[in-house]
Amino acid sequence: MTSSRQAVPSDQELRFPHIIRVQAAAGAGKTYLIAIRFCQFMLSRIIPFGSMHNLLAITFTVEAANQMKQRILSMLKATALGKEALEDLRPILPSFRDEEALKSSAMKAVSSVLREFHHLNVRTIDSFLYRIIQTAPMELGLTQTEEIKEDEHEIMDYCLKRLIYRAGKDAGTFKIVKDAIFHCLIAEQRASWWPQGLLMELLQDFHSKECMFGAEISTKYPNMKKEILPLENAVRKRVKELLHISSGLSLKWNVARQLERIAHQKDMEDMALEDLLGSTIWMKEDCKDLFKKKSHCHLQQSLHPKWLEIRDIVSRYAEKVACFKPGSYVRVYREFRKLVKEKKRRSGVLFLGDINLLAGRLMELVPLPEILLRLGTTYYHFLFDEFQDTSLLQWKGLYPMVDEALSHGGSVFSVGDPKQLLYRWRGSDLSVNLDSLGRFPQVEGVKEIVLPYNWRSRENIIWFNTNVFSKGNLEGL
């Protein structure tokens, strides 16, 4: 663990405020790094605001948080008893001139942790953001008694069944549901014996996108169907004219095949026109690129204006289809979302995905000093584990507190590995890890530390991963 220990500067070397970003490979000892820095700050006599009340370590799973708490407590206990951990901490705590003084300080820290274990601030990012939103339930329309529900499927399934039941009694709801199912089965040709299952997949996808980006999907989609049909007919008409004029020329085989299919296709039969328009032929700006080289002649130049006209109609058609395609889904999602909100309110539950959105909204509604007052503590030192998995929405909720901490001589210590981006499905964004820490004017630059050593895996596994993720190999993809 020598390399990991060197990533933590001694308490006499640290200058505040500061930011340290550690890029640590798998098996490099990321949990060890967070734990030893946490212990260093608790024990040091010269680090400002080093009390465990002012430290916050954030990770992503309950299991990881529990392991980190256990690691911190074990390290403090072993130091107090003069065991191996003492040798790890002594080099980074030179402010202690003798070993007995360090052991005594560690013993006091152990007693403090055991006495106020709830103040050992090692939390998952979700639990911390939830604690923040609990400070302002009235501003967010909450009761402070909401239950966090990780499995959203039960409530969403109930709401979809209610929507379908309502469709059997209300003509307007029936049309909305029918249009969505029709578009799914016919327009997109997603055949299914159980369209309710397909509809649920679509609605869940819309919901996950809202949670990921922190904004509600706009339901103001115009019905473009009446505008699309004339454009379809215009495309077919112009393509037929182009084929007629160029009948004496040699079109490329794939071009001729695609144009013939468009010219003679009937509405919504066989392949949809929007699928045919996905062909690469529409990327060709010059009309002569449609023909075989040997057939180039002056007639092709006369076809160029017509080809540009067709491409312009195709462009407008594609734009209308892009608006129309999700329109029927958005309309049914609007009704579904109302039912989900009502069900959550009546049941007193929050989805896990709601927490990030509410935390970001709270930072806009309530001044930060008021939030800190309600929390009853101020965090000066942030330690982030697996920082590469932080989403932009989560960072929006954390940023004001980190900014405040750095403005008062605090610090940030982040540990992560860009190759282990595991939470993309929840919106984790690598730009948070790579760019966000460099945007604090209070700090002159970010100290970068790289730990390339894997202490966990065998040599052949390390060799394989090193070669797969080598710069030369990735550039060739």
pLDDT at 225: 66
* Residue in 338, 306, 327 with CA at minimum distance from that of residue 183: 327
Least confidently predicted of 93-107, 203-217, 364-378, 439-453: 203-217
The alpha carbon of 278 is separated from its chain's Cα centroid by a whole number of angstroms, namely 29
The amino acid at residue 331 is: R
158 vs 200: CA distance, rounded Å: 11
Query: 222 pLDDT exceeds 80?
Result: no
* pLDDT tens sequence across 14-63: 999 999 999 877 666 788 889 999 999 999 999 999 999 999 999 988 99
Query: 272 pLDDT exceeds 60?
Result: no
Query: 158 pLDDT exceeds 50?
Result: yes
Task: Spell out the alpha helix ranges (H) of 134-269.
Answer: 153-167, 171-182, 195-213, 225-245, 253-264
Which of the listed ranges 120-124, 321-325, 384-388 does the model predict with the highest average pLDDT? 120-124
254 vs 283: CA distance, rounded Å: 14
85 vs 414: CA distance, rounded Å: 22
184 and 326 Cβ atoms separated by less than 8 Å: no
pLDDT at 1: 42
Q: How confident is the model at residue 268 (pLDDT cuts 50, 70, 90)?
A: very low
Quick one: tokens of 207?
A: 């919901």
Query: 455 pLDDT exceeds 80?
Result: no
What average pLDDT does this structure show over 404-427? Answer: 82
* Residue in 440, 435, 430 with CA at minimum distance from that of residue 391: 430
Neighbours of 469 (CB within 10 A): 12
How big is the chain, counted in residues?
477
Task: Spell out the alpha helix ranges (H) of 282-326.
Answer: 298-324
- Bigger pLDDT: 381 vs 306: 381
Quick one: tokens of 48?
A: 């400002």
Query: 101 pLDDT exceeds 90?
Result: yes
What's the Rg (C-alpha) of the chain?
Answer: 30
Residues 6+ apart with CB under 8 A from 317: 228, 231, 232, 235, 273, 274, 277
The amino acid at residue 69 is: K
Q: State the average pLDDT for the chain.
A: 84
Query: 339 pLDDT exceeds 90?
Result: yes
The alpha carbon of 131 is separated from its chain's Cα centroid by a whole number of angstroms, namely 21
The alpha carbon of 270 is separated from its chain's Cα centroid by a whole number of angstroms, namely 38
- Bigger pLDDT: 266 vs 75: 75
pLDDT at 8: 86
Task: Mark residue 409 as left, alpha or beta (left: phi above 0; alpha: psi -120 to 50; beta: remaining).
Answer: left
State what percent of residues in the chain have pLDDT above 90: 36
227 and 319 Cβ atoms separated by less than 8 Å: no
What average pLDDT does this structure show over 310-332? Answer: 80
What average pLDDT does this structure show over 158-176? Answer: 94
pLDDT at 293: 67
Residue 177 half-sphere exposure, CB side, CA atoms within 13 Å?
Answer: 21
State what percent of residues in the chain have pLDDT above 70: 85
pLDDT at 269: 42
pLDDT at 390: 86
CB crowding 92-125: b at 16 or more within 10 Å, else e: bbeebeeeeebeebbeebbebbeeeeeebbbbbb
pLDDT at 422: 66
pLDDT at 411: 97
276 vs 289: CA distance, rounded Å: 18
What average pLDDT does this structure show over 195-221? Answer: 82
For residue 217, the cross-strand partners are none
Coil, strand, or helix at residue 19? Answer: strand
**Cis peptide before 17, with omega less than 30 degrees from 0?**
yes
pLDDT at 234: 87
What does the DSSP 8-state code read for residue 391?
B
Query: 333 pLDDT exceeds 80?
Result: yes
354 vs 370: CA distance, rounded Å: 22
* pLDDT tens sequence across 284-311: 777 777 777 665 555 566 778 888 888 8
**260, burial (CB in 10 Å: exposed 0-12, middle 13-18, buried 19+):** middle
43 vs 303: CA distance, rounded Å: 81
Coil, strand, or helix at residue 49? Answer: coil
Quick one: tokens of 53?
A: 């009340």
The amino acid at residue 51 is: S
Least confidently predicted of 72-76, 96-100, 140-144: 140-144
